[in-house]
Amino acid sequence: MYKILIVEDEASINELIKRTLNAAGHRCLQAYKGMEAQCVSDFQNVMQQFVAFSPQLVLLDLSLPFYNGFHWCDEIRKNSQVPVIFISSAPDNMNIVMAMNMGGDDFIEKPFDLNVVTAKVQAMLRRTYAFGMTGNLMEHKGVVLNLGNSTLTFKEQVLELTKNEFRILQILFENEGKIVSRDAIMNRLWENDSFVDDNTLTVNMTRLRRKLESFGLADFILTKKGLGYRIS
C-alpha cells in the first residue's frame, strides 16, 4: 500500500481526495486547515509531517496558509525525490512552469475529475516505484537525516556528512530518546569496514560535534558519562 500525503487547506477537497484514493488501495494522510489552532500550525511544519509519514507521493495545493506550495516543494526536494503533484485553481502557464521548475512532477487543475486524479496518481506511482525509489528520511526536532545521500538538513541548510559521521548520527537517530553505548557505535562503524577503536571514536565524535556546532546545532549530541551518547 502506497502512502500519499495530501497538503490542501480546503477540508472538503481533502476528504474527497482521501476517500477516492483510499478506495483505490492507498493510505492517505491529510494536512489541512481545521478549526483548531493545532491544525493551522501544521501548515508551518509541513516538513515534519512529511518526514513522520514518509509518503511515496505528495499532492500539494499551490495556495496555502503561511507558505505556498512552491515553498514546500522546494523544501521537499532538499531531502527527497518523491513525486509531487500540484493541484491548483490557478492553472495559468506561469504557475505550471514554476511548479515544474521547483521540482513538481505533474499539475492538476481544479475543479478536477476524481477519475483523472486517481489515474495520474497511480501512473506516477507505477513509473516511480518500478525502479525501487524510496524516501529515506529520519527527523528529530526539525533536524532531518537523509539516508539516501548522507546529508543533514536544518533550517533550510544542508550539511554534507562523511561516512563515519553519517553512521554515528544514523544509530543515534534510530535510538531517539535512548542512550547509545560507545561499543554499539563502534560496532556500527565496523559494519562499514572502518577500523574504529575507542580513541578513533573519540576523534570522530569530537569532529562531528564541532561540525554540528558550526551548523547551529551545539549540544545536539549529549554525553552520558560512563554510558554513551544520545541526541538532545
Per-residue pLDDT tens digits for 165-222:
999 999 999 898 899 999 999 888 877 655 667 888 888 899 999 999 999 999 999 9
Tell me: the pLDDT tens digits for 109-143?
888 888 888 888 888 887 776 544 445 678 788 78
CB under 8 A, 24+ apart: contacts of 18-22: 20/114, 20/117, 20/118, 21/117, 21/118, 21/121
Predicted confidence at residue 35, as pLDDT, reads: 21
pTM of the entire structure? 0.60
The verdict on 20 and 124 lying in the same domain is yes
Q: CA-to-CA distance for 133 and 150, rounded, in angstroms?
A: 16
Q: The C-alpha cell of 57 is what?
A: 507521493
The verdict on 160 and 104 lying in the same domain is no
Q: CA-to-CA distance for 188 and 180, rounded, in angstroms?
A: 11
The verdict on 50 and 163 lying in the same domain is no
Predicted confidence at residue 142, as pLDDT, reads: 79
Question: What domain count does the chain have?
Answer: 2
Residue-number span of the structural domain to which 192 is assigned = 137-231
The verdict on 112 and 163 lying in the same domain is no
Higher pLDDT, 44 or 135: 44
Predicted confidence at residue 21, as pLDDT, reads: 78
pLDDT over 90, % of the chain = 19
Across the range 61-81, mean pLDDT stands at 87
Q: How far is CA 36 from the centre of its chain?
A: 24
Q: Would you put residue 226 in left (φ > 0), alpha (ψ -120 to 50) or beta?
A: left
Instruction: Find the helix or strand (DSSP H, E) in which 44 lies.
Output: none
Predicted confidence at residue 37, as pLDDT, reads: 19
The verdict on 108 and 191 lying in the same domain is no
Average pLDDT, the chain: 80
The verdict on 123 and 144 lying in the same domain is no
Predicted confidence at residue 85, as pLDDT, reads: 93
Predicted confidence at residue 10, as pLDDT, reads: 78
The verdict on 124 and 44 lying in the same domain is yes
Q: The C-alpha cell of 21 is what?
A: 484514493
CATH number, domain containing residue 106: 3.40.50.2300
Higher pLDDT, 15 or 154: 154
Min mean pLDDT across 21-30, 44-53, 109-118, 150-159 is at 21-30
pLDDT above 60 (res 34): no
The verdict on 85 and 191 lying in the same domain is no
If you average pLDDT over each of 41-45, 156-160, 180-184, which comes out highest? 180-184
Q: CA-to-CA distance for 208 and 220, rounded, in angstroms?
A: 10
The verdict on 55 and 165 lying in the same domain is no
Q: State the maximum Cα–Cα separation within the chain, in Å, rounded to a whole number.
A: 63
Predicted confidence at residue 216, as pLDDT, reads: 92
Boundary (domain end) residue, out of 97, 129, 161: 129
CATH number, domain containing residue 206: 1.10.10.10
The verdict on 56 and 158 lying in the same domain is no
